[in-house]
Amino acid sequence: MILLLLFLNGPDATACIVIKNFVFENMLSADHVFIGKVEKYIVVGRNRYTGMPRHALITFSVEEELFGKHDGSIVDLFWTNSTFGLPVQLDEDRYLVASVKVSGQSIIEDQYPFKLSNFEGVLQASCAAPFLLKPIAENVEKARKILRAESA
């Protein structure tokens, strides 16, 4: 059964035999950490064999910057989630997000008719959950504590 799924997913498959724990400290590799409201979520690619979503664009209205600085209050993030697949819609309307700048020379650019230079992507370690968290007090305080410790 696993071999069949790998075959059907073709080049989109990720061989995550063991799912890794989410590591909060991974946010230290982010270019930006912010709390934002989801303005738009669209799937921009599907697996040709399964029809499952491959990539998505998420537009956020930034409510609070915790680390880094965006040029404006609206941020578009690219999300490739080959570990767990992408949801048809997001569960929450607000998130604590860590994002990374992605080179415009990425292979992703070759897959889409629009230019993706200087874009950002959702931070997600291989075989782990994405850095899209509920902005509850516990998560926000933990993020602030980690970011303060790093800048000290």
pLDDT in tens, 81-139: 666 777 878 889 999 999 998 765 444 444 554 455 557 889 988 888 899 999 999 99
What is the predicted pLDDT for the residue at 113? 46
pLDDT band at 65 (very low <50, low <70, confident <90, very high): very high
Question: What pLDDT score does 18 carry?
Answer: 79
For 111-123, the pLDDT digits (tens) are 554 455 557 889 9
CA angle 61, 63, 67 (to 5 degrees): 105
CB distance 95 to 135 below 8 Å: yes
What is the predicted pLDDT for the residue at 17?
78
**Count of structural domains, the chain:** 1
Q: What is the distance between the alpha carbons of residues 143 and 149, in angstroms, rounded to a whole number?
A: 10
Cα distance between residue 46 and residue 61, in whole Å: 26
Whether 21 has a pLDDT exceeding 60, the answer reads yes
> pLDDT at residue 8 above 60?
no
Give residue 92's domain range. 2-151
CATH of the domain at 139: 2.40.50.120
**C-alpha to C-alpha distances, 54 to 5, 99, 135, 149, nearest whole angstrom:** 15, 18, 25, 36
